[in-house]
Each structure stands twice: as C-alpha cells, then as structure tokens.
Amino acid sequence: MGVALSITAFPVLARILAELKLLTTQLGEIATAAAALNDVAAWILLALAVALADSNTGGHKNPLISVWVLLSGATFVTFMFVIMRPAMKWVACRCVPQQDAVDEAYICLTLAGVLVSGFITDLIGIHSIFGAFVFSLAIQKERTFLFW
C-alpha cells in the first residue's frame, strides 16, 4: 500500500511547475528528474509487490517469481538503454522533416516501439506503462525527432 501511494502524480507536478514558470529553471529540472526517478523506483517496487502477492495465491508460496520480475525488469531496462537508445538515435538522424512533416514510417516505428515495450513488460509481470515509459526515455530528445 505504501509503494502504491508513493508514486508521484507526474503530470500534475509538471503542470504546477509550468504554471509557476519554474519548469525550465534549475529547480524545476531537479524536481522533475527526482519525480521521474521516484516513479521508476516505485513502479519497480510495485511490480515486485504484485509479483510477490501473485506468488502467494493457490496455497503455495514461490518467492522466485519476484526474483524473476526483478531480473527480467533489469534486463529489459539495460536492453533499452544499451541497444534501443542507439537504434532510436539512428532513427532520429534519418528522420529529416520535409516541409514541416515527418515520414509516417518513423511515427509508426515509434508507436510500435511503445506498444512492444509495454507488451514485453506486461509479459514480465510489470505494468505495461513502465515499458512505454522506459521506451520514451530511449528516444533522443533532439529537435529532429520531435514531430508534434
């Protein structure tokens, strides 16, 4: 219960900082980064708690399921930053806007990556939003890849 309550209302925090014109300041960047790290840690702990609770159903306890979720989640995050981040950087370099429009193939590739990442984390036993969030971190925040 404590893990679930510790998750930050990230959009609310960003909206408050934007309305106070603090979002682009150093304080706003620190608050946003801290909230993002807090959310990642809380989602991982929540996934472990759910996996442990699921392992206690059926009359037998199997704590190895929570170890599986932890190791698989760490492998997924490592894969996203070691393999997918350079791949998405390559995609961003090839994505040259033509007349203020981006090729639909790059948009489809990005959306497919979000969906596949969510599906993989759902298979692992972590909520699918965590996979989409990690994939969004793998996308380069360069001007050439911002298409909306």
Instruction: Report how far apart, in Å, the C-alpha atoms of 49 and of each of 3, 6, 139 are.
Output: 8, 13, 29
The one-letter amino acid code at 85 reads R
pLDDT number for residue 26: 92
What tens-digit pLDDT sequence spans the chain (148 residues)? 666 666 667 778 888 888 999 888 999 889 888 888 887 777 777 777 776 666 555 555 666 777 787 888 889 989 999 999 888 888 777 776 665 566 677 788 889 999 999 999 888 877 788 888 889 888 866 555 554 4
Instruction: Report how far apart, in Å, the C-alpha atoms of 142 and of each of 8, 53, 145 are.
Output: 26, 41, 6
Domain that holds residue 113: 2-145
pTM of this structure: 0.65
Opening angle at CA 77, ends 71 and 81, nearest 5: 145
pLDDT number for residue 113: 92
The three state secondary structure string of 107-126 is HHHHHHHHHHHHHHHHHHCC
pLDDT number for residue 116: 95
Name every residue whose Cβ is closer than 8 Å to that of residue 112 and which is 6 or more positions away in sequence: none
The Cα–Cα gap between 44 and 69 comes to 9
Count structural domains, the chain. 1
